[in-house]
């Protein structure tokens, strides 16, 4: 009998950001004259930097010539980009990562979601709570999470590591033993960062317990404080226990271009199996590579011109972050994040539920954010705003929030 994948049917509701977008659409249809300001999904708003646009144009022109035409990209990505990643994101930071350990992809979201495929179905995952929903949802789809309890919002077979104001939104080592640990720092959604010393504890824990850390470093370019780790490979022993995932979306505005990469060190093993070989096999079988023109655009991110322009772009968003943070504080809100990350995590006033505050903000201020409870049970009574809006919209949103 033909049957749909039963694990997909276990997923509660729709994907968080789809639900938020649907509510925004419905509100806009009912209030066509109201300008709604979107500070919900972490989608960038500033135009692609000129150095990257130039590289795109050149690559497009190349594709129209006999000698410059490129068909399928190499499985693991073009060498020019893998070399640039290894050189700039790792060697320059004193980390040991070779170009052939870098797997280029069409974005970090896909990698975050797909990486679980190379692990056994019986592996136990541990996630921060609140957490970027992709880590949990994709494990639900793979049948790895057990039974969902609607009331508490938790899965029976997932180890949750609460991140609260009390622990500075950095998780404690888990009481139960996980096989796969998802960590994201600077954090989405709380905007919290982790010190190298704390991250080292996780690396030591994973090595002692035979676990793998999947480290999502999508927001590392937003670190403003000195001494914080930009990569897990800054920690000793991380090559034996960590996979790192990077995005070009947040540091270089590629949300619409799509580019990312995953690093799997050669020595990283699950039992006797080298995970590098498994991920390479998966790439080879299921993937034909990110487009040549986009990988060329990615290379421009590492040019001197590109670096200077992107530094300015990040500063632009981080000014928004500081305006939101300070603006909300002055209004009496309890606010976190926004210093080393483009997300501001605020406590809802009067202990309102996250979704009640979402409705209040939308109806009274015409501002869309993301309810904290959508990221996990410990996100209840919290709310996330992004710094990725334009300066004008961010200022207008703050003005409206103040007046509501």
CB of 39 to ligand MLT, least distance (A): 10
CB of 357 to ligand MLT, least distance (A): 17
Cβ proximity to ligand MLT, 341 vs 365, nearer residue: 341
Cβ proximity to ligand MLT, 112 vs 275, nearer residue: 112
Contact code string over 134-163 relative to ligand MLT, x by CB under 6 A: ------------------------------
- Of residues 243-262, those binding ligand MLT (CB under 6 A): none
Q: What stretches of 287-303 show up as alpha helix (H) in DSSP?
A: 292-301
Size of the site for ligand MLT (CB under 6 A): 6
Cβ proximity to ligand MLT, 8 vs 15, nearer residue: 15
Contact code string over 52-91 relative to ligand MLT, x by CB under 6 A: ----------------------------------------
- Bridge partner list, 370: 384
Asked whether the beta carbons of 19 and 349 are under 8 A apart, the reply is no
Listed residue (391, 395, 404) closest to 333, CA to CA:
404
Does residue 42 touch ligand MLT according to CB under 6 A?
A: yes
Measure Cα distances from 51 to 55, 210, 252, 313, 328 in Å: 6, 43, 11, 13, 35
CA atoms of 169 and 165, how far apart (whole Å): 6
Contacts of 66 (CB under 8 A, 6+ apart): none
Q: Report how far Cα 36 is from the mean position of its chain's Cα atoms.
A: 25
Stretch that binds ligand MLT, among 37-45, 153-161, 165-173, 266-274 (CB under 6 A): 37-45
Cβ proximity to ligand MLT, 217 vs 268, nearer residue: 217
Greatest alpha-carbon span in the chain: 65
Element housing 371 (H / E): strand 370-371
CB of 108 to ligand MLT, least distance (A): 7
Give the Cβ contact number of residue 91 at 10 Å.
15
Phi-psi group of 132: left, alpha or beta (phi > 0 → left; psi -120 to 50 → alpha; rest → beta): beta
CA atoms of 124 and 109, how far apart (whole Å): 21
Stretch that binds ligand MLT, among 2-10, 41-49, 281-289, 327-335 (CB under 6 A): 41-49
Q: Which of 21, 41, 141, 270 binds ligand MLT (CB under 6 A)?
A: 41
Q: Which of 38, 82, 109, 276 binds ligand MLT (CB under 6 A)?
A: 109
Residues in touch with ligand MLT (CB under 6 A): 41-43, 109, 132, 188
């Amino acid at each position: 009998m033909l049957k749909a994948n039963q694990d997909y049917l276990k997923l509660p509701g729709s994907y968080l950001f789809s639900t938020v977008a649907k509510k925004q659409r419905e509100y806009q249809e009912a209030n066509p004259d109201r300008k709604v300001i979107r500070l919900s999904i972490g989608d960038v708003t500033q135009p692609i930097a000129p150095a990257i646009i130039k590289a795109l144009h050149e690559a497009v022109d190349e594709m129209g010539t006999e000698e410059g035409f490129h068909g399928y990209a190499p499985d693991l990505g073009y060498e020019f980009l893998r070399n640039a990643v290894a050189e700039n994101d790792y060697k320059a930071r004193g980390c040991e990562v070779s170009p052939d350990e870098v797997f280029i992809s069409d974005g970090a979201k896909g990698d975050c979601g797909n990486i679980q495929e190379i692990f056994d179905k019986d592996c136990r995952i541990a996630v921060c709570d609140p957490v970027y929903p992709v880590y949990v949802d994709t494990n639900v789809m793979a049948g790895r999470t057990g039974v969902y309890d609607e009331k508490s919002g938790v899965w029976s077979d997932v180890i949750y590591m609460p991140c609260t104001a009390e622990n500075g939104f950095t998780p404690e080592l888990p009481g139960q033993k996980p096989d796969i640990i998802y960590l994201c720092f600077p954090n989405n959604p709380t905007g919290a960062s982790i010190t190298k010393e704390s991250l080292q504890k996780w690396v030591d824990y994973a090595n002692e317990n035979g676990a793998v850390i999947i480290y999502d470093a999508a927001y590392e370019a937003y670190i403003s404080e000195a001494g914080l780790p930009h990569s897990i490979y800054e920690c000793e022993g991380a090559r034996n226990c960590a996979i790192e995932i990077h995005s070009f979306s947040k540091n270089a505005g590629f949300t619409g271009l799509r580019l990312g990469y995953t690093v799997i060190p050669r020595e990283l093993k699950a039992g006797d199996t080298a995970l590098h070989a498994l991920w390479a096999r998966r790439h080879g079988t299921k993937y034909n590579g990110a487009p040549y023109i986009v990988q060329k655009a990615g290379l421009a991110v590492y040019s001197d011109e590109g670096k200077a322009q992107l530094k300015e772009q990040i500063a632009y968003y981080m000014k928004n972050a500081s305006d939101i943070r300070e603006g909300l504080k002055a209004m009496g809100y309890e606010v976190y994040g926004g210093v080393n990350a483009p997300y501001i995590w605020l406590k809802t006033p009067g202990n309102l539920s996250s979704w009640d505050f979402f409705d209040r903000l939308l109806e009274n201020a015409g501002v869309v954010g993301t309810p904290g409870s959508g990221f996990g049970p410990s996100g209840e009574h919290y709310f996330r705003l992004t710094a990725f809006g334009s300066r004008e919209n961010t200022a207008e949103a703050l003005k409206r929030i103040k007046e509501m």
